[in-house]
Structure 1
Amino acid sequence: MTAQVRTRPWPSLLVRERPRPQMIRSRPGAWWLAVATVCFGAFMGQLDASIVTLTYGSLRTEFGTSLAAIEWVSLAYLLTLVALLVPVGRLSDAYGRKLFYLYGFVVFTGASAACGLAPSLTALVVFRVVQAVGAALMQANSVALVTTSAPRERMRAALGVQAAAQALGLALGPTVGGALVSALGWRWVFGINVPVGIVAMVAGHYLLPRTRGRNRVGLFDWTGLILLAVATTSLLLGVSAASGLSAPPWAVAALFALSVTASWAFVRRQQCAPVPLLDLALLRVRAVSSGLMAALSGYLVLFGPLVLVPQIVVRAGGSELLAGVVLTALPGGFALAALGADRVLPPGVGDRARCLLGVAVCTGALAAMLALPLSPVWLAVQLAVLGAGLGLFTPANNTVVMSAIPANSSGTGGGLVNMARGLGTALGVALVTLQLHLSHGQGVRDAWVRSIAVLLAAALVAAATAWLAPAERR
């Protein structure tokens, strides 16, 4: 009798994680290959975040519309991303982080190509929403894939490499974006994602490990998802409206009130839902709650200068090219510190101590910005020091959070970390924009001091939350 070989029907291949080849899986440093693959997504996400703003002028010219309308190219993306990070992380814990991550690349790459071919502003905004869905599938799993791939004693180093990849994308965005817009047009800003995405999909298929621990879900909490989306969307819209968009005061107040109400309803829903979208027990762990607040504050400090520095340099008579060169010092310092901290600091310096040291460096750099002159050289030095403090703080803080979360909930934890990053990014941009709006017609120094004071307050919040975090067990 001839044995029959059973093969899976092809649809099942689309919903199952495939193992790595044995020759990859058996390599001693296979986890570094997984981390390097995740860095593709980290790089693309930050490159896209910093590159799109350079298309605003060309988009206004081509579509003949206002800046307020063009801002929805970024706003629609950000609102969708922040609303989906936690639920996508929850589903990834249940059905496979590698599977969701690879599908994220498929959606993100396809939507990027569609953005480059968009015939109208409305179509571009719709495609950006789809692009954000892909980004959520990637970003909700990026931290989880790193922490579950790397040995526990190398987790901080692995997260440092991922943070450096984010900083590299952030640093290259203004330069690459300016060159693409000037030489080839705004459509190529989105087209650049396509070849990178194709390479990342192939690499992820062969180099990323399958999900070992699963956290199965029953009925999905659609009510919780809607409440979370309403809470985050109304918060970000309220902050954006308060930062200078044409909206009456009552509308801004209504948005903030809606955010508070929806947040309260979301918490109550999670307390009574049979299968909650977010396990609130995670937030009752002090290392997690304090770490998420510190992450939000840290990313606020990181992204605020991306809006502030170009505006201040141009107001002071400098060129946009000069502003871009000066601003590169910030992510450059971040990348160097994220990669080099383990080589410079003694092995006995733990994550909590690194967090405190990092925010101390940030606070000192911001305080110096209030006192020292606004010359390009001094500004570049101060931004490099600020970036170094953030590069020391961010991987250590993410390690504190992810170490306190069970492995089978790492996708949810990664979604929380990235949602804190998204909210911090939005608040950094919006609060600095608000200060620039309030100081309109006043001197450059006044606008600078107002904005730096906001960033300094955020750094102090990060310092306080890092101080309150529990000490590591020896």
Structure 2
Amino acid sequence: MKVRETITANLPLAGIRAKTNYHWYVVATVCIGAFMAALDGSIITVALPTITRQFHVALSATAWVALAYLLTLTALLTVFGRIADIVGRRPLYTMGFGIFIVGSALCGAAQSLPFLIGARVLQAIGAVMLQANSVAIITAAVPSSVRGKAIGIQGSALAVGLSLGPAIGGLLISAFGWRSIFYVNVPVGLIGTTLAALILPIDQEKDQTSKGVSFDYLGSLLLAISIVSVILGLNQGNEKGFGSPYILSLFACGVATGALFIWQEKRHRAPLVDLSLFKIPTLTWGNVSGALSYALMYGVLYIIPFYFEEVRKNPSSLSGLLTTPLPIGMMLLAPMAGRIADRLGSRTPTVAGMTLATLGGLSLLLLSSSEPLLWIIIALLIIGMGMGIFTPPNNSSVMGSSPRNRLGVTSGLLNMSRSLGQSFGIAFAFALYQGVVLAEGYSPLGAPPRMLLPGFHIAFAGVTALGFFAALISLFRGKVQPLADADHEHTIEL
């Protein structure tokens, strides 16, 4: 390690570490990883109809191209957050870029749906190394006085990736086919890998409490089984029947392994998830409301392309462009929301943001086969603006309540709640949409547009209800004041 640090200290970019504004270089580097992960999360949305037709599979099978990625993220975020606290965030972050690049290349080369899903899992392992560390790296490097602004900028990078993903994806698919949406990650990833190795700070504070204690492998396994079982049950419920023994056993398995996970964490000397963190109300309710908000956002993002292509018969290129108002709205307001949170606390912007996003979701209930495109664009823009106002203050309040030697775990929890919300939102929206259409005796692909509309209405109503609950949680959890660096062992609620 010391030899490597001596070598990197002599490289040209090492001088950046001595600058007074060095922390902004760290933020910029982390934003590359955030951009890549978000781009890959949204670029796939417009490809799902094309992939479904090319591989001649059911819609529920194609959904696993997205779900395999998100479930891997969800299951491993706390694992790598814990590992980062122990071994250091910079080496893990840099390695994540490399694995992400390899996974992306394999996705592009996939010749079958199972291979594509497997490559997406590898890609997600790289992405989880990036996401589990991003907010923790920023929190450790940035002064508390501008933490909200820095996290807001990182949120903007996420939003830029989300906003460009559908547009870039639609254009690439129309011009070069769906494989190109994965190859586009490779050059960006190479740049990010180089910058991460040269710019990111050396970890000054690592968690020493787990020295000599084995890693919580059993807890990791139980958490993964619990999450995958529940999402798999939602995904296959319409085909197998939600009352079937198979689906009921999946839900029972999810609940049982979840309970065993909590038991394991209470008894392990170095738990994967420090359950004492959930004694901090800011951290607990911030994660819950964050998960619900992303369930709303991703439920809409993954269902709306099917509306454009199946009901309105738009091509993939136009479908991608029409999806961009949502992430663009998030991108425009995220930095401003972060600055507001630095001055006023998190309660006001989080409540206002989720209320706005919920109103946007309600607007989608009026969709028809001939609805003016302007109405849809405005509805998506409102959802994105609400998410942009909500997310940075919520994230800042969660991270600001964490002990410094638990920043990696807290960041992993924050990202896990987001990915869990994304996975649940996608599975929930698809289950509602597919269930309504199948109940009418039609296939979700190729049915008459008028027979598909009720499915879309129910799906949008379901995820909008989740946003409403997120707004209520933000309202009643109290006004939160993020803490200074020295005070991370406690939480102040006003």
| TM over 0.5, shorter chain | yes
1:397 aligns with 2:389: no
Pair 390,438 (structure 1): closer, same or farther in 2 beyond 3 Å? same
> Which of 152, 158, 176 is the matching residue for 2:144?
152
Maintained 8 Å contact 1:17/1:98: no
Displacement of 1:28 = 2.0
Residue 344 of structure 2 aligns to a residue whose secondary structure is coil
* Equivalent position of 1:282 in the other structure: 277
* Equivalent position of 1:52 in the other structure: 44
1:457 aligns with 2:465: yes
Letter in 2 for 1:219: S
Separation (CA, whole Å) in 2 of partners of 1:446 and 1:52? 24
Letter in 1 for 2:468: L
Pair 72,358 (structure 1): closer, same or farther in 2 beyond 3 Å? closer
Measured against aligned partners, the alpha-carbon deviations of 1:167-215 in whole angstroms (never above 9, x if no partner) come to: 1111211221222223223332221111111100111112211212111
Displacement of 1:47 = 1.2
Within-5 A mapping of 1:70-89: 70-89=62-81
> Which of 411, 420, 423 is the matching residue for 1:423?
420
Separation (CA, whole Å) in 2 of partners of 1:456 and 1:17? 52
Q: Which is further off, 180-189 or 214-223?
A: 180-189
Pair 313,110 (structure 1): closer, same or farther in 2 beyond 3 Å? closer
1:317 aligns with 2:312: yes
* Equivalent position of 1:185 in the other structure: 177
Measured against aligned partners, the alpha-carbon deviations of 1:360-418 in whole angstroms (never above 9, x if no partner) come to: 22233334444687421112112111211110100110111111111211111111111
Separation (CA, whole Å) in 2 of partners of 1:187 and 1:179? 12
* Equivalent position of 2:200 in the other structure: 208
* Equivalent position of 1:30 in the other structure: 22
Separation (CA, whole Å) in 2 of partners of 1:108 and 1:67? 26
Maintained 8 Å contact 1:104/1:134: yes
Q: Please, which runs of 5 or more residues in structure 1 have no aligned partner?
A: 1-6
* Equivalent position of 1:4 in the other structure: none
Pair 198,245 (structure 1): closer, same or farther in 2 beyond 3 Å? farther
Displacement of 1:103 = 0.5
Separation (CA, whole Å) in 2 of partners of 1:237 and 1:368? 30
TM-score using structure 2 length: 0.86
Separation (CA, whole Å) in 1 of partners of 2:286 and 2:327? 21
Maintained 8 Å contact 2:286/2:397: yes
Displacement of 1:128 = 2.1
Separation (CA, whole Å) in 1 of partners of 2:452 and 2:345? 41
Separation (CA, whole Å) in 2 of partners of 1:406 and 1:117? 43
RMSD: 2.7
Separation (CA, whole Å) in 2 of partners of 1:71 and 1:367? 25
* Equivalent position of 1:335 in the other structure: 331
Separation (CA, whole Å) in 2 of partners of 1:172 and 1:289? 32
Measured against aligned partners, the alpha-carbon deviations of 1:291-334 in whole angstroms (never above 9, x if no partner) come to: 11001011011111113322333454351444433321111111
* Equivalent position of 2:446 in the other structure: none
Maintained 8 Å contact 2:45/2:305: no
Maintained 8 Å contact 1:351/1:396: yes
Displacement of 1:81 = 1.9
* Equivalent position of 2:83 in the other structure: 91
Displacement of 1:56 = 4.2
Separation (CA, whole Å) in 2 of partners of 1:329 and 1:63? 30
Q: Which is further off, 17-26 or 430-439?
A: 17-26
Q: Which is further off, 119-128 or 326-335?
A: 119-128
Maintained 8 Å contact 2:169/2:320: no
Displacement of 1:238 = 1.3
Pair 17,88 (structure 1): closer, same or farther in 2 beyond 3 Å? farther
Q: Please, which runs of 5 or more residues in structure 2 have no aligned partner?
A: 441-449, 482-491
Separation (CA, whole Å) in 1 of partners of 2:87 and 2:282? 27
* Equivalent position of 1:3 in the other structure: none
Maintained 8 Å contact 1:85/1:139: yes
Pair 327,53 (structure 1): closer, same or farther in 2 beyond 3 Å? closer
> Which of 434, 437, 448 is the matching residue for 1:437?
434
Maintained 8 Å contact 1:73/1:128: yes
Displacement of 1:60 = 5.4
* Equivalent position of 2:487 in the other structure: none
Percentage of pairs with the same residue: 34
Separation (CA, whole Å) in 2 of partners of 1:314 and 1:112? 26
Displacement of 1:63 = 5.2
* Equivalent position of 1:125 in the other structure: 117
Displacement of 1:88 = 0.7
Separation (CA, whole Å) in 1 of partners of 2:68 and 2:154? 26
Maintained 8 Å contact 2:287/2:413: yes
1:115 aligns with 2:107: yes
Within-5 A mapping of 1:206-245: 206-216=198-208, 217=210, 218-242=213-237
Letter in 2 for 1:455: V
Maintained 8 Å contact 2:100/2:125: yes
* Equivalent position of 2:443 in the other structure: none
Within-5 A mapping of 1:343-354: 348-354=343-349
* Equivalent position of 1:39 in the other structure: 31
Displacement of 1:267 = 0.4
Displacement of 1:115 = 2.6
Separation (CA, whole Å) in 1 of partners of 2:360 and 2:48? 31
Displacement of 1:249 = 2.3
Displacement of 1:87 = 0.9
Letter in 1 for 2:473: T
> Which of 188, 195, 220 is the matching residue for 1:196?
188
Displacement of 1:32 = 1.1
In the alignment of these two chains, the number of paired residues is 463
Measured against aligned partners, the alpha-carbon deviations of 1:254-275 in whole angstroms (never above 9, x if no partner) come to: 1111010001000011111122
Letter in 1 for 2:454: D
Separation (CA, whole Å) in 2 of partners of 1:449 and 1:123? 33
Residue 44 of structure 2 aligns to a residue whose secondary structure is helix
Residue 439 of structure 1 aligns to a residue whose secondary structure is helix
Separation (CA, whole Å) in 2 of partners of 1:234 and 1:89? 22
Displacement of 1:458 = 0.9
Separation (CA, whole Å) in 2 of partners of 1:239 and 1:349? 40
Q: Which is further off, 364-373 or 397-406?
A: 364-373
Measured against aligned partners, the alpha-carbon deviations of 1:330-373 in whole angstroms (never above 9, x if no partner) come to: 11111001023367x59743212211111222233334444687
Maintained 8 Å contact 2:85/2:206: yes
Separation (CA, whole Å) in 2 of partners of 1:275 and 1:354? 36
Measured against aligned partners, the alpha-carbon deviations of 1:88-139 in whole angstroms (never above 9, x if no partner) come to: 1001001101111101001111222233234544433332222111111111
1:298 aligns with 2:306: no
Maintained 8 Å contact 1:227/1:263: yes
Maintained 8 Å contact 1:244/1:433: no
Separation (CA, whole Å) in 2 of partners of 1:255 and 1:457? 25
